[in-house]
Chain A
Amino acid sequence: MRCSIVIAAFALLNTFAAADELPNVNITRWSEGKIEYRKASTGEVNGSEDWHITVHPDGSRTLETRNRLDVAGFQRHVVYRVAENFRPLEVTSVYWVKGEWRGTGLFAVNGRDLEAVIKTPDGMIRQSRAVPEHFSFIPHPLQSNAWPAWYYDKQKGGPQTMTVYDMDALAGAVSSMLGKMYDQTIELIGEEEMTTPAGTFDVEHYRIDDVVDLYISGPDAVLVKFVWSPMDAEYVLVEYRASGP
């Protein structure tokens, strides 16, 4: 009897291992990883982020994340899809702050229109506004912070303007998770090789507003490191796994 249970268990394991390897027509490739949130001066870990990227047949990418900044009492679930060129398509998100649910939102981009609908503790909020061709969302997983550089002109180089729709990280007051649109300055510093606990990566090093150093790698702009000096904060890729080439 025990033998048959073991055999059945192995049969099930084999079935699932094989199922994992079956091709799925909706998935071109995938990658996943873990980012540690650290106090830069001491290396103390104060939060983390698990993420998974799926690249689809039309080139669009879906980023799924769970992140937590324990020191500040934040926890978020975010799903963010961008087009092949990394222009935002949709975000869905759930924010918790200091033990309270603060909102669940959908932000959808259709051409030059952004429509947001958010369920908050005080009721539903809706927003409809115009967005430029070149912009990005900041829904606050760190991995999503690797994607605003998508329209940086490398041939031109130097400081360039990037526009972001930055969702309220605290989801506070009446506006809840609605974002604000503003410009930042981004500059490509160069290409480097960088080693983190997740491995060694060829990265592009960008600097944003002279306060953030951003290191990203590969066709899906995986965040390898993000250093926010004025906040004594750094975010480091510590685990990484990807589908085959």
Chain B
Amino acid sequence: MMHRVDADFRPLETSVTYWSKGAFTGTGLITVRGGTLNAVIDGPLGRVTHSIPVPDGFSIVPHPLATDSWHFWYFDKTKAGEQPSVIYNPQVAPRTGVPVLGNLETGTMTYEGEEEITVPAGTFTTDHFNLNGVIDVWMTGEDKLLVRYAMGVADLEYVLTDLSKGQH
């Protein structure tokens, strides 16, 4: 999976290859240019494409957890309470009928505040966001690195255990 975003974290391109239950489900290139998202998927069904309008404030969920800290880039911290979220969700278990091809999903996000948390990778000053009332995400630094992701209702958590950085 490769996911490129602009300086604001708005999606530019995503390429993915998905395998599920021992079977190849597809390789896709999803590109964003202005207000249009184009997806090209090559999989067991052949080549499938679609083109859909997208708002300025949206993100793509290609499903590595590291990308899940980049959804909140357009949250306005100067306003309190819930704000709308829009996510293009490439399908691992296809609801669109075509594996990998996604759809736009709307939800809500809230900012829970700044917190210091400790994980095996170290202690970090994080921004804590909640998505749809069920997912908590803690991220840190200028590249919004995911430190912890918790989905209490599913008894799941994903924790940063190693981190190294370089300048060049």
Q: A117 contacts the other chain (Cβ, under 8 Å)?
A: yes
**Which residue among B20, B27, B28, B31 has the maximum number of chain A CB atoms within 10 Å of its CB?**
B27
Report chain B residues within 8 Å CB of A124.
31, 33, 38
A79 touching B22 by the CB < 8 A rule?
no
Using A12-B161, A104-B31, A108-B27 as known contacts, say yes or no to A26 and B42 having CB atoms under 8 A apart.
no
Interchain CA distance A178-B120 in the complex, whole Å: 44
Cα A105 to Cα B30 with chains together (Å): 10
Of the stretches B11-19, B82-90, B106-114, B130-138, the one at the interface is B11-19
0 or 1 for each of B2-18: is its CB under 8 Å from A? (1 = yes): 10100000001101010
- Contact present for A119 and B13 (CB under 8 Å): yes
Asked if A110 lies at the interface with its beta carbon under 8 angstroms from chain B, I say yes
Pick from B21, B40, B46, B118: contact of A110, CB below 8 A: B46
- What residues of A have a CB within 8 angstroms of the CB of B21 in the complex? 25-26
Q: A56-B24, A79-B15 are in contact. Are A16 and B4 (CB under 8 A)?
A: no
CA distance A117 to B161 in the complex (A): 37
What does the 1/0 interface line of A96-117 toward B look like (CB < 8 Å)? 0000010011101010000101
B47 at the interface (CB under 8 A from A): yes
Question: Considering only CB atoms, which chain B residue lies closest to A119 in the complex?
Answer: B31
Is A9 an interface residue when CB atoms closer than 8 A count as contact? yes
Question: Counting CB contacts under 8 A, is B29 at the interface?
Answer: yes
B33 and A119 form a contact (CB under 8 A): yes
Q: How many A-B residue pairs have CB under 8 A?
A: 80
Residues on B with beta carbons closer than 8 Å to the beta carbon of A227: none
**A106 in contact with B15 (CB, 8 Å):** yes
A79 to B2, CA, bound (A): 8
In the complex the two chains form, is A104's CB within 8 Å of B22's CB? no
**Hey, which chain A residues are within 8 Å of B52, CB to CB?**
none
Q: How many B residues are at the interface, by size bracket? A: 20 to 34
Number of interface residues of A (CB under 8 A): 29
Select B24's contact among A12, A60, A79, A92, beta carbons within 8 Å.
A60
Nearest residue in B to A117 (C-beta to C-beta)?
A: B40
A108 to chain B, nearest CB (A): 4
Partner of B27, one of A9, A16, A94, A106: A106
A115 CA to B42 CA, complexed, in Å: 10
Q: Does B104 contact A (CB under 8 A)?
A: no
CA distance A110 to B41 in the complex (A): 12
A78 to chain B, nearest CB (A): 9
The verdict on B119 contacting chain A, using a C-beta distance below 8 Å, is yes
Evaluate contact between B42 and A90: CB separation under 8 angstroms: yes
What residue of chain B has the Cβ atom nearest to residue A104's Cβ? B13
Beta-carbon contact of B2 and A110 below 8 Å = no
Q: In chain B, what residue has the closest Cβ to A54?
A: B19
Q: Are A92 and B31 in contact (CB under 8 A)?
A: no
Which single member of B4, B24, B29 contacts A117 (CB below 8 Å)?
A: B29
Apart from the given pairs A12-B120, A16-B159, A81-B27, 15 other A-B contacts in the complex at a CB distance below 8 Å: A9-B118, A13-B120, A25-B22, A26-B20, A56-B22, A77-B2, A79-B15, A92-B17, A92-B29, A104-B2, A104-B4, A106-B27, A108-B27, A119-B13, A119-B29
